[in-house]
Structure 1
């Protein structure tokens, strides 16, 4: 049974995430478990997530879920916008709620850092070459 779509394709926050995530070398988009997932050989970010608390599911429909280095994840957990996403949290992923006040530079830096954490070395080298 397929998951229902859990996002609005016209969401401006999704468009912001999509623009950054797909600009990275080799990045593509697919739908995984009803949500946009951005990947090369592995997923580097998702748009949207959820948390299970008190036996109930709580959606974070306008969020980015990232896989960052442990020290950065620990620091971000101090931010009230952040959450540990269901299923992915134990593997080191962190969610960041987005809204119209989201700093686009911060978002781009976090998506790039997540990409660097999971992308193949050859693609990270292409990214570094493009940055020069």
Structure 2
């Protein structure tokens, strides 16, 4: 397999094909295990910055160029953002947990284990 970087720099491959390659080969590696992440504001910014870094690299825009993020996204037109894909994945996982009948994960998500104020053996 050729180097991924040389594939993205190739002028023989069209831009939509390169976008599909990034979505198929780069973003799944980034999203691995995302269902269990706790994402705060700083991580949201890092995810957005990484996505825009990928698109700028794909378009070969130098870091010194003064182009807005909106112009980059308009040129790429990715459809759904990386953060949107991650949220969709997390919601799908949550839906799978809620459809299970008796699972530890579902009980934990609903707060059934370790709840205070339950009547029980208190020695």
| Band of TM-score, shorter chain | under 0.3
- TM-score when scaled to structure 2? 0.26
Structure showing greater radius of gyration is: 2
The answer to which structure has the higher strand fraction is 1
The answer to which structure has the higher helix fraction is 2
